[in-house]
Structure 1
Amino acid sequence: MPGIGSNIVELLIDEAYRSGRFEEIAFLHAPVGLVVTEDRVIRDCNIAFAEMFRYARDQLRDQTFSILYPSREEFVNIRDRGIRTLAEKNVYWDERIMARSDGTLFWCRVRGHSFTPDEPLARAVWSFADLSSIRPYNELTRREREIISFLADGLTSKEIALKLDISHRTVEVYRAKLLKKFGVVNTSSLLQALGHIDADHVVDRA
């Protein structure tokens, strides 16, 4: 019942202020999504994180993070991208497209800290900020998403063509269409339009 739940929350907050121990209420009620993971499995998350993805907290505990990605491929690719940075610096951030429980896609900013730098994803804590209000999701085809992701990795059109086993000319056609779709004149502007950040931190591959 809403009333009982509200009373329990008030009691927890009162106790935190009496004892000076704010860890639990800070985690639960932080205005940004927070999640603690173990080998990319969600061990716990706060209220803002669950609401962002439109799940109940209990639905997310002990679930693999893959349920929050547009595809299994993107789940794997983002893992591979973040491990080295976490191992070297023990911090990582990017802006990526994620999936809510109803399948809608949205941009979010992700930051991570590993408790186990030798095995960066073994135990970690992450923050998630919903960017929908400032960066609406722009529908892209699978091929467009693949090409944008490789462009963000710094690959040339010829290198992308080899990766995707298509012609260099086809990649150039896709690039031209993407520039037109986003109203920009070059690849750098395209990546900025997608993420408003440097290409190193744009993650968008499905």
Structure 2
Amino acid sequence: MEQEGIDGSYRDGDFGEMAYLYAPVGLVVTENRVIRDCNLAFARMFGYERAALRDRLFAILYPSQEEFVNIRNRGIKDLRESRAYWDERVMMRKTGDLFWCRVRGHSFTPDEPLMRAVWSFADLSETRPYQPLTRREREVMSLLGEGMTSKEIARALDLSFRTVEVHRGRLMRKFGVRNTAGLVQALAGLGGAHMVPHGKRPAEG
């Protein structure tokens, strides 16, 4: 049946449905944050059957209801102005495993950007394995990324220098690096305006 559909697309020259269904990147059509349809790559990425995702609220693919709510307004300004937006965020598979995704969106309704839109999802697991961080580790990570020293971070967070050093050591072990320079380089890959930190409220756009 699958091969018949592909053969029919080549025979008729109508490749739209085939390209959507078998695209090597996850594609999903949404209406007011409800999944109206998705392709095979998207369903496989999250560990679901396509039918199980149709007409489901996108919240089931987020690590928590709080993060689903918090991220709602991120990118609204870009979608209104250019219809396009992208970021990198942590999502959740059916198994409960968390992973980084690169998300790109196009709105069909710029006056109400999330009313009707199409999104692509790329799994970044191979190049950016998910590392669970505590709240303090995220805070230290963020300040290290800004170039602050351990003493400066200790003052900013009202912690002892020793406590900051413990958090920094844990971060180095989690990211598999041996020194601060390696850690800063690893953190650079997680930074930028288009990165949505897991567990941290994103700035509203």
TM-score tier by shorter-chain length is: 0.7 to 0.9
In the alignment, is the contact (CA less than 8 A) between 2:172 and 2:183 conserved in 1? no
Of all paired residues, the percent bearing the same amino acid is 57
Q: 1:132–1:53: structure 2 CA closer, same or farther, 3 Å change rule? A: same
CA contact (8 A) 1:45 1:61 kept: yes
CA shift at 1:175, angstroms?
Answer: 8.9
CA RMSD of aligned residues (A): 2.9
Please give the residue correspondences for 1:1-206 in structure 2 after superposition, counting only pairs within 5 Å. Answer: 8-145=1-138, 147=139, 168-170=157-159, 177-178=167-168, 180-181=172-173, 182=175, 183=177, 184-185=180-181, 189=185, 191-193=187-189, 195=190, 198-206=191-199
Deviation at residue 16 of structure 1 after TM alignment: 1.0
- The alpha carbon displacement at 1:111 in A equals 0.6
Unmatched runs of 5 consecutive residues or more in structure 1: 1-7, 157-166
Q: Which moved more, 1:84-93 or 1:180-189?
A: 180-189
Q: Which amino acid aligns with 1:141?
A: T
Structure 1 length-normalised TM = 0.77
Instruction: Provide the TM-score with structure 2 as the length reference.
Output: 0.77
Q: Distance in 2 between matches of 1:144 and 1:121?
A: 33
Counterpart position of 1:164 = none
Structure 2 counterpart of 1:168, one-letter code: L
Distance 1:68 1:137, change over 3 A: same
Number of equivalenced pairs: 184
For structure 2, list consecutive stretches of 5 or more residues without a partner in the other structure.
Answer: 149-155, 200-205
